[in-house]
Every structure is written in structure tokens, then in C-alpha cells.
Amino acid sequence: MLDIPSLCALSTAHCVALCALLIPANLVSTAFTLGLASLGYSAERVRRSAILSVLCVLAMVLHVLSWIVLGVIMVPTYILLVLAGICLGLNVWAVSYPASLRRRLAWIGGWRKLSATVR
């Protein structure tokens, strides 16, 4: 059985290490999912990458929720929750509407190329 107070104590004792692992894991796994979706890889590969990324998001949300349970609510609490929400949203978008995501990423890439040629 899960012992919630022990998990909260673990999260508190190793907060810096958990954040040092979970923040880059979320960013890299989400970027990887976006890359697979934008390059037109199969839906199964994109889905597998998104599942891995959502597991990272879930771990970060549980870590932040442990701090909320303990009553430690600060600015990083909100920042990490927003980061988790953005990563989750992008992964859901990549799995649900890959063509739309591809068009949007192409538009962003085209805009950056256009602004670079204007200078």
C-alpha cells in the first residue's frame, strides 16, 4: 500500500534532485514528441513518445501536489504546474491532431525564416 506521508517526505527531502530531473525530462520528451509529429512519423510512434512524456508530466504534478499537501505554496509551485499543463496540452495536441500541429509548426518555422530574411 502507498504511504502518502512517506512519499511527501521523500518529495520534500529530494526536491532539488527531483526538479533537476523532471523539468528537463518534461521539456525534452515534449520536444521529442513535437519533433516526431512535425516530421510525419507514424501515429503509433508519436503516441508512444507522448505516453512517456505524459508520465513525466504526471510525476511532476505529483511532486508539486506533495508540496501543496504540505502547505508549501510558492511561485515555483505555480510555474511547475503551468509547465506541466503546457507539456500535457502539447502532447495531447500531437496525438489528437498531428496535421494541425504540423501546419502550426511549419507556420512558426516559416515566420522565423521570413523575419530573418527581412533584416
Find out whether 95 and 47 touch, Cβ atoms under 8 Å.
yes
- Local structure of residue 41 (DSSP, 8 states): -
Domain encompassing residue 106: 4-118
pLDDT of residue 96: 93
pLDDT for the residue numbered 111: 59
pLDDT of residue 115: 47
Q: Report whether 29 contacts 37 (CB < 8 A).
A: no
Residue 106: what pLDDT?
Answer: 83
Q: Is the pLDDT of residue 14 over 60?
A: yes
Which has the higher per-residue pLDDT, 92 or 109? 92
What is the number of domains present in the chain?
1
Taking the model in full, what pTM does it have? 0.83
For residue 45, what is its C-alpha cell? 510512434
Region 92-114: what's the mean pLDDT?
A: 81
